[in-house]
Amino acid sequence: IDSDPEARGPEGFDRVAFWVENNPGTRPGPMMKLASGGELSRFMLALKVVLAERGSAPTLVFDEIDTGVGGAVADAIGERLARLAARVQVVSVTHAPQVAAKAGRHFLIAKSAQAGEDAKERTVTRVTPLEVETRREEIARMLAGASITEEARAAAARLLAAAGIRG
């Protein structure tokens, strides 16, 4: 914590920086300079979990908290979010099928360009709740991309089954 009474403003005059030692034998430094995107995401998740346990907010929003992480870490993040959702409302935007499969509810968010009344293109965002079958198909798409295979559908079904969702 660095305090500068001369720099007092609407946010106060303290500047807080978290310092980390990312690897054994390296020098500690400011997390914002040393941490990767994935490390920052996991730190934010941990911080929000601690704050939620202290009753800080009834709803927590995570926007791509799983950015920059691989499958096993995404799976662990999904587990943590699912446990957190047992206590508070969690809204999570994700591209990770491991995270999406563990959600209590799944919505597809899709953007498209459409001509407006003035003939100019506008971006339109649609939010669609997914039922079990369409959810399995969306998770398969997240796994496979544009060409959804039977293997991707089977993998999606396994992810959902592991999360206790049958269909």
Partners of residue 62 on adjacent β-strands: 92
pLDDT, tens digit (0-9, with 9 covering 90-100), for 52-89:
777 777 888 888 888 878 888 899 999 999 988 988 89
Please tell me the distance from the alpha carbon of residue 133 to that of residue 144, in angstroms, as a whole number.
16
Query: SS3 of 123, please?
Result: strand
| pTM recorded for the entire structure | 0.72
pLDDT at 152 over 90: yes
Check whether domain 37-162 has CATH 3.40.50.300, yes or no: yes
What integer best gives the mean pLDDT of the chain? 87
pLDDT at 17 over 90: no
* Tokens standing for residue 143: 């796994």
Please tell me the distance from the alpha carbon of residue 136 to that of residue 89, in angstroms, as a whole number.
23
Please state the domain extents for the chain: 1-35, 37-162
